[in-house]
Amino acid sequence: MSDHESTYVPKTGVEKWLDSRLPIVRFGADYMSLPTPKNLNYWWTFGGILALCLVTQIATGIVLAMHYVPNTELAFASVERIMRDVNSGDLIRYTHANGASMFFVAVYLHMLRGLYYGSYKAPREMIWIVGCVIFFLMIATAFLGYVLPWGQMSYWGAEVITNLIGAIPLIGEPILIWLRGGPAIDNATLNRFFSLHYLLPFVIAGCVVLHLWALHHAGQGNPVGILIPKDREKKDMVPFHPYFTVKDGFAVILFLILFALFVFFMPNALGHADNYIPANPLQTPAHIVPEWYMLPFYAILRAIPDKFGGVVAMFGSIGVLFILPWLDTSKVRSMRYRPTMRTFFIIFVLVGMGLGWCGAQLPDAPVVGSFKTFILIDGDLNSYLWLTRLFTAYYFAFFLIILPVVGLKETPLAIPATISEPVLSGGDAMTAAAAASAEKKG
């Protein structure tokens, strides 16, 4: 599975010359011929899609930086100049802006894939953890980038997010001033955010290399969730190229159609109209809302009535992902064979979307029309505040209570002995021995 033997044979004189000096072609060839489980479904194509997203963002980003001016006096105007005067500037800018949204669509599906199929379980913990680091860096990069146009949402988003750090007791205030480079968000802040927004994608790229290294070392997971024994490799695996390059390629094309739909026909659908108003440090827009991909975490922040508590909960909601491999006590990787857990997982997905939805609403607004209930502690029970709290509670319970407990209590379904079996046998005939051996392996 991992570290497979090299099958590369240099043919031409140039290849032979190079191979005995710098075997870079061999490295690439071996990398592309990695044995890959043959039963991967389309949920496994988001890795390739994400790689494409990163390349798209870096390429369009470098180009935009050739025309953008990181100065409060000129930033907004320079973006408008890109839109109106720079050749294809509008297209490139919309691609970069919608590209961020597409990046997050793909990463959320990628993460949910991992969660459902137990891709974080031994021996793949490091793939998961490096992935969590990448996710965190993506959020940071996206935040820094959104500040650059210096619109109203840019400015007030920056104000709120930097203030999160100011909520840390004692050291929060000095760090806040250090981060902003002054008593308030100003030119110094914009200038450094530009520099960091340029830097972080390359840090992400470095982490992606580690992510892939870990993946190639521990081996690909698969929908059945069993480890493929050495003697089954020939039967159960196919080389990555051309089988999965082509399959990934097809998925990439479908994804690009969706991407293009947004860029060409509704480039502003995922954005916020208020960011077309230049930043005004003296007025916060009445309907300030973060970008959609931050909404669930924003909702969690807002659900907690305490300032620092909200910040802890928000970072905790991402932090809990890092320890996920040790929270899930089940030996069965794929939730395909965990009916109880699958139900909780589906609720989790709905709750995640519910959190996003709540994040876009005013906390005091009633959920059900003008239906009056009663005040519970600090808000009406029929308000987004309490709905968000309910969802937040489930979010944390899912990781900290449900995963550890259900893993110990549930009776998983019989697991096939090989990944070929469900296909060849119609998916139901499995011997008890096969299930037992899978349990041992898992």
Partner 1 sequence: MTESVVTEGGDATRRDFIHIAAGAAAVGAGAMVVWPLINQMNPAADTLALASIEFDMTKVQEGQQVVIKWQGKPVFVRYRTPAELQRVIADDHAHDLKEPQSDADRTKPGHQQFLVVLGNCTHLGCIPTFGSGDFGGWFCPCHGSHYDASGRIRKGPAPLNLVVPTYDFVSDTRIKIG
Q: Report the binding-site residues for heme b.
A: 96, 110, 197, 211
Start-to-end CA distance of the chain, whole Å, equals 16
Question: Which parts are annotated binding residues?
Answer: 96, 110, 197, 211, 216
Measured from the CB of residue 196, what is the shortest distance to partner 1 in angstroms? 10
Measured from the CB of residue 407, what is the shortest distance to partner 1 in angstroms? 35
- In whole angstroms, what is the distance from residue 337 CA to residue 217 CA? 26
Measured from the CB of residue 203, what is the shortest distance to partner 1 in angstroms? 16
Of 77 and 362, CB closest to partner 1: 362
Q: Which residues of the chain form contacts with partner 1 (CB under 8 A)? A: 156, 159-160, 162-164, 166-167, 177-179, 181-186, 188, 192, 281-288, 301-302, 304-307, 310, 362-364, 378, 385
Of 272 and 333, CB closest to partner 1: 272
Measured from the CB of residue 385, what is the shortest distance to partner 1 in angstroms? 8
Q: What is the DSSP letter of 366?
A: B
- Per the listing, tokens 């931050």 go with 294
Amino acid symbol at 141: T
Q: Provide Rg for the chain, Cα atoms.
A: 24
Query: How long a stretch of residues is the chain?
Result: 442
Task: Using the CB atoms, write b or e for 400-438: b if 16+ within 10 Å.
Answer: eebbeebbeebebebbbbbbbbbeeeeeeebeeebbeeb
Of 220 and 317, CB closest to partner 1: 317
- Per the listing, tokens 């007030």 go with 156
Of 229 and 281, CB closest to partner 1: 281
Of 188 and 212, CB closest to partner 1: 188
Measured from the CB of residue 275, what is the shortest distance to partner 1 in angstroms? 15
Please answer whether residues 311 and 164 qualify as being in contact, where contact means their C-beta atoms are separated by less than 8 angstroms. yes
Question: Which parts are annotated binding residues for a ubiquinone?
Answer: 216
Of 114 and 359, CB closest to partner 1: 359
Measured from the CB of residue 79, what is the shortest distance to partner 1 in angstroms? 22
- In whole angstroms, what is the distance from residue 384 CA to residue 380 CA? 9
Please answer whether residues 318 and 135 qualify as being in contact, where contact means their C-beta atoms are separated by less than 8 angstroms. yes
Measured from the CB of residue 174, what is the shortest distance to partner 1 in angstroms? 9
Of 260 and 365, CB closest to partner 1: 365
Measured from the CB of residue 77, what is the shortest distance to partner 1 in angstroms? 20
Q: Concatenate the DSSP letters of all residues of 93-145 into one string.
A: HHHHHHHHHHHHHHHHHHHHHHHHTTTTSTT-HHHHHHHHHHHHHHHHHHHHH
Of 266 and 365, CB closest to partner 1: 365
Residue ranges of alpha helices (H) inside 333-374 are: 339-359
Please answer whether residues 119 and 127 qualify as being in contact, where contact means their C-beta atoms are separated by less than 8 angstroms. yes
How many CA atoms lie less than 13 Å away from 431 in the CB half-sphere?
5
Measured from the CB of residue 368, what is the shortest distance to partner 1 in angstroms? 19
Of 263 and 303, CB closest to partner 1: 303
- Containing 376, the helix (H) or strand (E) segment is strand 375-376
Longest dimension (CA), the chain: 82
- In whole angstroms, what is the distance from residue 225 CA to residue 421 CA? 13
